[in-house]
């Protein structure tokens, strides 16, 4: 079963020089929770920490009923990449590990028919991330 349409996304780790980025192709039907899993894999993270997407003024994560801040968030598993694009969102952010504050900018580059793509794939990348220091402006820098 091939997928109908894909999005090519450019994912860049913010506040790091030289730049660290990945270009991936994912199905438009993928949820933000699924995109979190893709980012974990291509950035070589280990999925030990919380995450959050911010798009169009809304936050998406794994809702916590015991959230002390009582923030209004939406479940990342319920939102598809296609829904963001339909709302006109072409750039959004992803933050992983709120202690180190690994913030990423995600840009939708193209939407195309899937042809022979059957799953997510990394198309290109620049620089391997090393866990030597947190980005500038984080709590640990």
Go through the domains of the chain in sequence order and give each one's CATH number.
5-126 (3.10.290.30)
Q: State the Cα–Cα distance between residues 90 and 72, nearest whole angstrom.
A: 22
Q: Record the tokens describing residue 68, joined without a space.
A: 């002390």
Helix (H, G, I), strand (E, B) or coil at 81: helix
The average pLDDT across 16-27 equals 92
Q: State the Cα–Cα distance between residues 53 and 60, nearest whole angstrom.
A: 5
Is this model's pTM higher than 0.75 or not? yes
**pLDDT the model gives residue 40:** 95
pLDDT tens track for 54-91? 999 999 998 877 766 667 889 999 999 999 999 999 99
Q: Record the tokens describing residue 114, joined without a space.
A: 């899937």
Higher confidence at residue 138 or residue 27?
27
* pLDDT-based confidence at residue 1 (cuts at 50, 70, 90): very low
Sheet holding 5-13, edge to edge: 73-75, 58-61, 51-55, 91-96, 102-113, 5-13, 20-27, 121-126
Could you tell me if 32 and 115 are in contact, meaning their C-beta atoms sit under 8 angstroms apart?
Answer: no
Task: Extract the runs of DSSP E, i.e. beta strands, from the chain.
Answer: 5-13, 20-27, 51-55, 58-61, 73-75, 91-96, 102-113, 121-126
Q: Is the pLDDT of residue 12 over 80?
A: yes
Above pLDDT 70, what percent of the chain?
75
Mean pLDDT estimate for the chain: 83
80: Cα within 13 Å, side-chain hemisphere: 10
């Amino acid at each position: 079963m091939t997928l109908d349409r894909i999005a090519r996304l450019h994912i860049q780790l913010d506040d790091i020089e030289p730049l660290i980025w990945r270009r991936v192709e994912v199905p438009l039907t993928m949820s933000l929770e699924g995109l979190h899993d893709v980012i974990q894999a291509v950035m070589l993270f280990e999925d030990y920490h919380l995450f959050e997407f911010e798009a169009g003024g809304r936050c998406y994560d794994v809702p916590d009923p015991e959230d002390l801040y009582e923030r209004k968030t939406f479940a990342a598993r319920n939102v598809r990449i296609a829904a963001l694009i339909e709302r006109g969102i072409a750039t959004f952010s992803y933050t992983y590990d709120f202690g180190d504050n690994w913030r990423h900018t995600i840009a939708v580059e193209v939407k195309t028919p899937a042809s022979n793509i059957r799953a997510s794939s990394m198309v290109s990348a620049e620089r391997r991330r090393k866990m030597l220091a947190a980005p500038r402006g984080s709590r640990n820098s």
